[in-house]
Every structure is written in C-alpha cells, then in structure tokens.
Amino acid sequence: EAGVTQFPSHSVIEKGQTVTLRCDPISGHDNLYWYRRVMGKEIKFLLHFVKESKQDESGMPNNRFLAERTGGTYSTLKVQPAELEDSGVYFCASSQDRPGGGTDTQYFGPGTRLTVL
Amino acid sequence: AQSVTQLGSHVSVSEGALVLLRCNYSSSVPPYLFWYVQYPNQGLQLLLKYTTGATLVKGINGFEAEFKKSETSFHLTKPSAHMSDAAEYFCAVSDWRNTGKLIFGQGTTLQVKP
C-alpha cells in the first residue's frame, strides 16, 4: 500500500510568486492534515480536512494560504503571493476516520521543502 | 492551552548506551501522547502512543515510554542505542478536542557515536 506522497519535494521561488503543494493521502483515509515546520521551530498544525470539508483551519497563517481537497482525495495548498517567512517544510498527514479519532495514527508524507528568496 | 516541551535539542550517546529523550506536556484534560521519529529524507513515523490504560508503552525498534501524570512527562527510552537510531524525535500531544490535531515539541536530534 502506498504511503502519503507529497509533490514537489523541493520548491525554490521568489518572493511574490505563487506555489502550489500537493498531497496524496493513503487511500481510504478521510482525515487529511497539513503541518509546517519553519527552520528552528516546532512543527505546527495548519489545517484539517475530513473528506472534502475543512474541519479546522485555525492554524492557517493568513489569507495568502488556500487549501483545497477536491472530491475528498488529494489536497493542494497554495501560497499566493509567497513571502520570505513562508519558507519551511510543509508536511501532510492522513488518518482513518473513526470515532475518537484523536488517537488514530497519522501517517506523514516526506514533506515539501519550500524556500522563498 | 496545550503544549509540549522537549528538553535538549541535541542528544549524543554512544552505541550500546541508554537513550533517554525527555518530553513534558501541559494539558488540562487527559492527554493522548505520541512519539514520532524522522529519518533523513523521510516522513515522520509513529514510534509509540499513549491513549489510556497501561502507562508503560512499548513501541517499535525497542523504544518505550512511560506516562507519568504526576510529573506531566512522557520520556522516551531505549536500553541500548544502535547507529540506526540516529534521527530526529518528536513528542506530541493530541488536541483536547480529540480531533487528531497534534501539538508538537521542538524535536530532539539523536546522535549515536560508534
């Protein structure tokens, strides 16, 4: 069974440009999470989808970030326009959707390293 | 608010020595606690988790952790380090609303010396 995949693995863009990150969760996983790690800091939650619905987007930094999950399958995270402080590693994770799902194992992708120059 | 503190951003041990990675949490409700490991160029992988029940939790690769409510700790241990254990380790607590949102500590990089 394929794990969580993310594309691209690395992206280098200039300030003001747009970047779109993609995440493909494990098949059948209804929960999809985005996290970000800025250099030297802890991994921080960005948002949570259940199927195609945004369950919690309290961690999104500002309105330059837009996440979508079309048809409840893959998800994209768009940053437009990118700023220097957006640099970091963006992780995606997925888990099954079961009652009391807070204890379910989240399976993480390898991350996308975004560098904004 | 919930939080996680990992003492020591870098820990170095000799091969065969005890591994002890410290994690303290803050939570107003009974926590769900996790340890994840990240090997170079890979995603985070679950080592072990505590939800309810037995406070000593055994995980993969010989790691274990003990939930101590009185000390608000969830330290990770392994009796004998292997070179392959060199990685970054993250302690995390699940959000109090039990939605699955994880709150991470800063991470600890484990170096294993031959």
A102 contact residues in B (CB cutoff 8 A) = 32, 94-95, 97-100
The model's pLDDT over B26-67, given as tens digits with 9 standing for 90+, comes to: 987 888 899 999 998 888 999 999 988 889 999 999 999 999
pLDDT at B31: 84
pLDDT band at B16 (very low <50, low <70, confident <90, very high): very high
pLDDT at A99: 54
Report the residue of chain B nearest A58, measured CA to CA: B101
pLDDT at A83: 96
What's the rounded Cα separation, in Å, for the pair B76 and B23? 8
Contact B36 A4 (CB under 8 A): no
Pairing between strand B19-26 and A65-68? unpaired
Share of chain B above pLDDT 90, in %: 78
Contact A106 B32 (CB under 8 A): no
pLDDT at A115: 97
Cβ atoms A54, A72 nearer than 8 A = no
The tokens of A43 are what? 């991994």
Q: For B69-90, give the DSSP string.
A: TTTTEEEEEESS--GGG-EEEE
Nearest to A20 by CA among A94, A80, A109: A80
Share of chain B above pLDDT 70, in %: 97
pLDDT at A59: 93
Contact B43 A111 (CB under 8 A): yes
pLDDT at A100: 53
The model's pLDDT over B101-110, given as tens digits with 9 standing for 90+, comes to: 899 999 999 9
What is the nearest CA distance from A44 to chain B, expressed in angstroms?
Answer: 7
pLDDT at B98: 66
| Chain A residues 54-113 within an 8 A CB cutoff of chain B | 55-56, 59, 91, 93, 95, 100-111
Cβ atoms A82, A17 nearer than 8 A = yes
pLDDT band at B100 (very low <50, low <70, confident <90, very high): confident
Q: Residue B32: which of A45, A95, A102 has the nearest Cβ?
A: A102
Cβ atoms B25, B32 nearer than 8 A = no
Compute the average pLDDT of residues B79-83: 97
Q: How does pLDDT run along chain A (117 residues), one tens digit per residue?
A: 679 999 999 999 999 999 999 999 999 899 999 999 998 899 999 999 999 999 899 999 999 999 999 888 999 999 999 999 999 999 999 998 665 556 678 999 999 999 999
Name the β-bridge partners of B49.
B34
